[in-house]
Structures are given as structure tokens and as C-alpha cells.
Amino acid sequence: MMMLTKKMIEIRGLLQTVGQSESLTLPSIVVIGSQSSGKSSVLEAIVGHEFLPKGHNMVTRRPIELTLVHTPDASAEYGEFPALGLSKVTDFGQIQKTLTDLNLAVPVTDCVSDDPIQLRIHSPNVPDLSLIDLPGYIQVVGRDQPPELKEKIAQLCEKYIKPPNVILAISAADVDLANSTALRASRKVDPRGERTIGVITKMDLVDAERGASLLSDRKYALRLGYVGVVCRVPSNASGSKLFSRGNGNITNAIAKNENAYFGSHAEFSSDSQLAVGTSNLKKKLMYVLEQTMAASLKTTSEAIQRELAEATYEYKVQYNERPLSAESYLAESLDGFKHSFRGFSDAFGRPQVRELLKHELDQQVLNLLAQRYWNRPFEDLSPPLPETDPLSSLPKADPEGEHQIWQIKLDSSSAALTKLGVGRLATSVVANAIQAHIDRLVANSRFAAHPFARQAITEASTSILKDLSYDIADELEICIKPYKYRIELEDNEWARGRENVTAVLKEELKVCEAAAKRLEDQAGGRKKVRDVMAFIDRVRNGQVVLEGDGIGGAGGFSAPLLAKGREAVFLRDRTDVLKMRLLAVKSKQCANKKNKYHCPEVFLDAVADKLTTTADLFLDAELLSKFYYNFPRELDARLGRGLSQSEIDRFAREDPKIRRHLDVVRRKDLLETVLKEMESLRQLEAREKRSIRRE
């Protein structure tokens, strides 16, 4: 019959993984007793090892679901904490420490927790049993303990001693049974004493006659009877030199002790029919558990069928029977993301890089022009055009000397442009653009709801871009090096520069005009701004002397208004310059590249264009193609092959919708497995019955 219990205990374990549900479990033996009744000693005697937390400060705060697995040819005895992923702990001292830590993690203010600790012990010396150890009942609440502790322990025990569980009620022989908290609690839920086994500990502390009378107690008669034990570990048993404390097997020492004690008192002779000794207790537990489990198989299997029907219905109605696993969800999400990434890489190539870079360099050209040509008092703003120009009213002294000045100016501007670190600038502009695209792709993908994956993807792209950028920036700088010394322009390059810079200047003009308009709106109307601008002009022309620094306002204008006025004057001057320069660029003179010193805008634009052409070619080949090759592989490494099962689960469960779907699928699968197991159990049972009948 032993195979049956093992199988039933396995099914019980499976049911535990389905989830906490009262009807969805098989019975277990629940151990209750007041503190110091000897409860831990009994459990340790059954297991054959000291492994339970010891200490004065209420060390059992959580139920311990103890599954004993009889393993006939196991070379070593070991424990497992499945929920912690701890397997094959062969040092029972370590098990004791882990249990202590898990219990102490429950804050004192919470008193106790009903979240059970699961512990499996494999050993050739244990029977197949499923036991639940509960915190011991306390009589008096200690000074440093919360007042509700006593009540909370009682409630926790009450929850577990419900039918069909078997109650193992521990009472000490030296305490009057009428005062046994365990028996009183069991009586409440099992008034006819049908599913309670009484254990009387510390039999050695009372005289044999009294001990024997306790075991045949009539007042608290129990159908399953009482067993008397002497479970105190003899002091030399676990301290043996061969074993570290807590690691030696104590079974033999206890058996020897008990045999000596019970054997020396006639009251406990075999004729007495009294049940004594740990080994008899073990046998009784095995028998009772098997009977009880077998008796509840039918109701449990019905409950499983009901739950399965519910889960199947939900799966069908809510999820259209769409199979789902964390792995398949991740794989699909990753494929989807890679697909959208391919779409992006097809659409973002050299022309797009070129446009980005040109725009960036246009801005640099505008800044240079503003700094070097347009920031002087009006007359001196820009190189005058040669004689024939319609704008020849501009002052022009000493044409030869002037020419030289403008030549130096243009050469230095061009040098400033080529030396501004185009390699680093262009690389970072493109890398940032790629990163921004990736961020957008993530935000629009399934990964949007998964912080963990989002981070992994962002890290994948930033790390590749960072690695590539470092060398690429330097290499690109080398590519554009020749332009730092000499720039030759073809006619068509000049013409293109002229066309482009016209558009850029027009755009800049629009920006200035829009800013001026915005400023008028903010400052409270055109007139107001005009007035303050007129005042500032008068100050600039020396017609008005500003007293102090004008911080507190001047000329009847408030300080903020003056500030706006200054801004407006700046924008007006900039607009005037831009208009004038646009005329100049459009003029016939600027159609010819030999007038380049008078047309710095066109020249610098053409230089920027040359730089762009070199950079876009290089970045397309080096940055884009390498990134497009590496990124999907890095994704696979970080989100595909590289993830452990628990990480994949964690990822999938981040999305609440997916979590519910996965839960239903898992529940259904588990319930189906349990039912299958139950069916094979039924067959096993039938076979065993047949063989017993044959015997």
C-alpha cells in the first residue's frame, strides 16, 4: 500500500502549485501543541534529525508544510525548499538556519503569518508523510510580545485543523490532560475524536502507572488512540564527534532510549495493548494518513474536475483557446519588434543621414556667419559687393585692402567649420537619431508594457552605439582632414550652395519674424514694443543718456519691458541683415564663385555640403550598417537565448493581461496533469486491492 501514499503525497504537492484552495487539496497531518509540550522533539524524532528552529522568542511564526519522502536507496539525506529554489541541502543545521531566518522574517508586530514554508525531506529513514507544523499555543503573552498573539496563533491553528486533515495533538505527560490546549482545540473541531491522534510526550517525567493511565484515557477518548513517547534527544546523540551539531541521525538514539524506558516498565509490555514509542507513532501516522487520503480522493477529484471545467470554460470564452506560454509570448514579441526594426532600417539610410547632417551643419554655418559677419554695427556687417552691385551704396574704402580682410575672414571661417569636430558631431547626431527611433519603436511595441524588456532594449542599442561611435568619430575626422587645408569648389557645387543657402536664409528670416511677432504679443502690442525700441535706439545713438544701468527700468519703461525691447531690436537688426544678405546672395555677383569672399554664405554652405557628403557616406557604411547587423543579434542575446526561465516568466507576467492568460493556461494544464495522476492512482489502488484479495 506504501506506493499509494507516496503517489497521493505527490498529487498533494502538485495541487499546492495550482494555488491555495481549501477543496483542492488532499489531507495532511496537522501538528498542534502548546509551547514546550515537546512538539518539535516529536517531529524531529520522526524525521531523525534536529532541524526545527529553537529559541525562546516564539520561533515558529509560519506554518511549515513538511513533506517526507521515503527514498530507499538514497545515499544521503537532504532537504529541499522548493519555493526558494534550494535543493539538496544535506546539512540539517543549514535547514534549521533557513527555517529560523524564514520565521524571523515575519515582523513581531504581525505575530504570525499563514503563508506556509514548504520543506521536503528525502531520506531512507523517513516514511512517506505529509505533516504541517504550526506555531505552539501560548498560555501567557510575554512582555515584549503583542497582546493579540495568543488569539492569532489560535486562529491560525483553527484554519488548519479543519476536516479532512488529521490532527496530531501533542500533550506533555507532566501536565494534566484536562489542561492540554491541543486536546481542547481538537475537541472543538472534532468533538467525537474521530480524526485526532493523541501524543503524550515526556512519558519519562511521570511514573509509569500514571503514564499508562494517560494512554488509556477514557475522558478524552480518541478513536485513533494515544501514543506515548520519550523524544528528548539524548545529549550525546547529536553531539557525536562524527557529526556537526544537528547533523547526526538521532533515530537510533531515541529508539534505544525509548526501548530502555518502556521495556523496563511492565505497564507498557506488549500485553498492555498500549501504543508507545516513536516507531509505533510513525507507523500509526502512515496508516492513518493513507486511509484519510484515500477516503478523500473522491471528493478531491470531484473538486478538481469542477475547477478544471471552470478553467477550460474561461480559456475558451476569454482566450478563444489560444495557447500561450511565457516563451512563446516572448518569442512573438521579439519577432514583432525585430520586424518593426527592419522597417525602420529600410527607411533610414544614407539620404536620411544626409538630411540630418546637412541640417545640423546649416545651423553651424548660420552660427558662424552670425559670429563672424553679422554681429557688427550695421555698416560693417558683411563684405560689400563689388561696384556694379545695386547695393553699392554700402561704404567701400580701399578695395584692395578690403579684399584682403575679407579673404582672411573667409579662410578663418571655413577653418572654423572644418575644425569644429565634425567627426564627433556628425556621429553623435546620427547615433542620437537612431536611439530616438529605437525608443519610439519600443514605445509602439508590445514591450511598452514591460519595463524589464524596455530597459534591456535601450541598453542593447546604447551600448552598441557607444562602442561604434568611439572609433567612428575619430575615423571620420581623419576622412575630412583634407578639407581643413584646402577646399576646391566646382561650379555646380557653388550653384548648389547658393540655392541651398538661399533656402536656409529664408527659413532663418521666417524664424526671426515669427519670434518678433511672438515678442510683440507677449509684451502687450506692437505700439508698446515700437516705443521701447525707439527709446533703445536713441540710447544707442547717444541721444539719450541712460542713468545707472537701467536695471530698475528707464525712460518710463519697466525693466522686463526694456529687456523685451532689446530682444526686439536684436531681432529687427537680424531681420535686416538677413534680408540684405539674401539680396546679396541672389545678386549676380554671387552667381560666380570667383566672388566667394563677398559671398561667404554660399561658400560656407558649399563647404558644409562637402563635409556632409563625406560624413554621410562614411556613417552609412560604418555606423548604420554595423548597427543594423549587431542590434538584432544583441536583442537575441539579451532577450532571447540569454534569459533564464524565471526571467522569461517574470517578463511575460509584467503585463497583467498576459499574466491572467498565462495563469489560466497553467491552471488548466496543471489540473489536467493532476487528474491524470489521480486516474493512474485509481488504477494502482485497484491493482493493489486485487493482489491483496489473491493473497
Question: Closest CB to ligand GDP among 37 and 413?
Answer: 37
| Closest approach of ligand GDP to the CB of residue 88, in Å | 27
Q: Is residue 669 exposed (0-12), middle (13-18) or buried (19+ Cβ within 10 Å)? A: middle
Residue 448: CB minimum distance to ligand GDP, A: 53
Q: How many CB atoms lie within 10 A of CB 662?
A: 18
Nearer to ligand GDP, 231 or 431 (CB): 231
Cβ-based nearer residue to ligand GDP, 126 or 231: 231
- 516-517-523 Cα angle (round to 5): 85
Between 41 and 445, CB nearer to ligand GDP: 41
Residue 33 or 600 with smaller CB distance to ligand GDP? 33
Residue type, position 64, single letter: I
Distances (CA, A) of 233 to 39, 129, 212, 227, 238: 13, 22, 22, 18, 8
Q: Cβ of residue 276: shortest distance to ligand GDP, in angstroms?
A: 11
Region for 185 from its dihedrals, namely left if φ exceeds 0, alpha if ψ lies in -120 to 50, beta otherwise: alpha
Report the Cα–Cα distance between both ends of the chain, in Å, rounded: 14
Query: In 3D, which of 417, 435, 437, 436 has the Cα closest to residue 425?
Result: 417
Tell me how far, at minimum, the Cβ of 238 lies from ligand GDP, in Å: 12
Q: How far is the CB of 22 from ligand GDP (least distance, A)?
A: 27
Q: Is 439 exposed, middle or buried (0-12, 13-18, 19+ CB in 10 A)?
A: middle
Whether the Cβ atoms of residue 71 and residue 112 lie closer than 8 Å to each other: no
Shortest distance, CB of residue 170 to ligand GDP, whole angstroms? Answer: 7
Q: Whole-angstrom Cα distance, residue 349 to residue 620?
A: 7
Establish how many alpha carbons lie within 13 A of residue 501's alpha carbon, considering only the half-sphere containing its beta carbon: 32
Between CA 50 and CA 60, with CA 55 as vertex, the angle to 5 degrees is: 80
Residues making contact with ligand GDP (CB under 6 A): 33, 35-41, 136, 201-202, 204-205, 230-232
Q: Using the minimum distance from each CB to ligand GDP, give the nearer residue, 233 or 643.
A: 233
Closer to ligand GDP by Cβ: residue 235 or 320: 235
Residue 620 carries which DSSP code?
A: I
Cα angle 690, 693, 695; round to 5: 110
Min separation Cβ 196 and ligand GDP, Å: 17
Q: Which residue's CB is nearer to ligand GDP, number 68 or number 170?
A: 170
Q: How far is the CB of 203 from ligand GDP (least distance, A)?
A: 6
C-beta closer to ligand GDP: residue 255 or 303? 255
Q: Least distance from C-beta 174 to ligand GDP, angstroms?
A: 9
Between helix 491-523 and helix 526-540 the angle, nearest 10°, is 110
